[in-house]
Amino acid sequence: MKSDSESTLQPTPEASAQQAFGAYAGPLIGETIALADAVHDDPSPEALHKLRVSLRRVRSLWWAFAPLLDKGENARQRAVYQFLATAAGKTRDWDILIELLKDQPGGAKDLLPKLQQARGETLAVSRDTLLNADVKHLLRDAFTTTTAQLNTAHMPRIALHKFAAKRVNASERTLKKRIKRARRAKRSDYAAFHEVRKAGKKLRYLFEFFGPQLQGGHKRMLKRLKRLQKRFGMLNDTVASATLLRDNAALVSASGSGSGEIDAALDWLNRERKRRLRAAAKLLD
């Protein structure tokens, strides 16, 4: 199945990167606005996940075109997308924790209702944040501002296929450096593995945006990146869930759950983290 970026009508390789921006950003902005609207009616984990992913792709697209944009303005726009993604992601983080603990042998049944309550309270805050932020206005304004900047800047025009190759090559170099660093890192150094995940995700998005403009096949690399992202994402789920539960232990305990049950859940998440870290490390060989 093709991604939304792949199904969009692609610019010609000879078009300038400046001209091509709108062809990438327009449909993506429209999709993200629709997903933000849907969250107000659909509180499901899947709806929030789709919105967060779409906002990440928007942020990655602005990063891809960063060399052609004013640094200050680009940083401001990407910070807005990060803020919106975080708002959507807070509820999603509870969903991940709940799904993980459903697999914990025997120990989390009494804890789950408390986590569901916390998830509902967080959802209300996430919805209010997204509504008050006026996502539609923010994204449309960013699109208009960036498009105007690209069309009026005095920077030399660069062919899209050349620009795409440069950005993908730069992203590939970053990923290779981070993989090399993670191979040398201790297994307790989760930050090194997290950096690999972020670099791999960024490169994957670039391949999805610019794939038709690149010379040579990239399907094998894209397949490997998807596998890496999935396995490293599973690792990140355990780390983030343990942090979330630990940070909210007092809140959950106040709702009636004993510290013993929370400690048991944290121990299980720690074992899962170690198992998933070993599985993720195998992809670096």
Q: What's the total number of domains in the chain?
A: 2
Tell me the CB-side half-sphere exposure of residue 217, using CA atoms within 13 A. 4
pLDDT confidence bin for 46, thresholds 50/70/90: confident
List, for residues 242-285, the tens digit of each pLDDT value: 999 999 988 777 555 556 888 889 999 999 999 999 999 988 87
Task: Provide the 3-class DSSP secondary structure of residue 186.
Answer: coil
Q: Is the pLDDT of residue 4 over 60?
A: no
What is the pLDDT at residue 155?
79
Q: Which domain holds residue 208?
A: 159-285
Nearest CA to 280 among 209, 237, 238, 230? 230
Residue 107 lies in a domain: no
Residue 140 lies in a domain: yes
Within this chain, do residues 181 and 137 fall inside the same structural domain, yes or no? no
CATH number at residue 218: 1.40.20.10
Within this chain, do residues 25 and 145 fall inside the same structural domain, yes or no? yes
Nearest CA to 211 among 160, 159, 156? 160
From the number of C-beta atoms within 10 Å of its C-beta (0-12, 13-18, 19+), residue 15 rates as: middle
Q: Is the pLDDT of residue 1 over 50?
A: no
Rounded CA separation 258/265 (Å): 11
pLDDT confidence bin for 7, thresholds 50/70/90: very low
Q: Residues 133-158: what's their mean pLDDT? A: 88
Residue 114 lies in a domain: no
Within this chain, do residues 134 and 225 fall inside the same structural domain, yes or no? no
Within this chain, do residues 55 and 175 fall inside the same structural domain, yes or no? no
List, for residues 184-232, the tens digit of each pLDDT value: 888 778 999 999 999 999 999 999 899 888 887 677 888 889 899 999 9
Residue 103 lies in a domain: no
Among 89-93, 106-110, 161-165, top mean pLDDT goes to: 161-165
**How many residues does this entry show for the chain?**
285
Residue 224 lies in a domain: yes
Residue 97 lies in a domain: no
pTM value is: 0.83
Within this chain, do residues 20 and 147 fall inside the same structural domain, yes or no? yes
What is the pLDDT at residue 254?
56
Residue 245 lies in a domain: yes
Cβ within 8 Å of residue 262, ≥6 positions away: 111, 245, 249, 252, 253
Rounded CA separation 264/157 (Å): 59
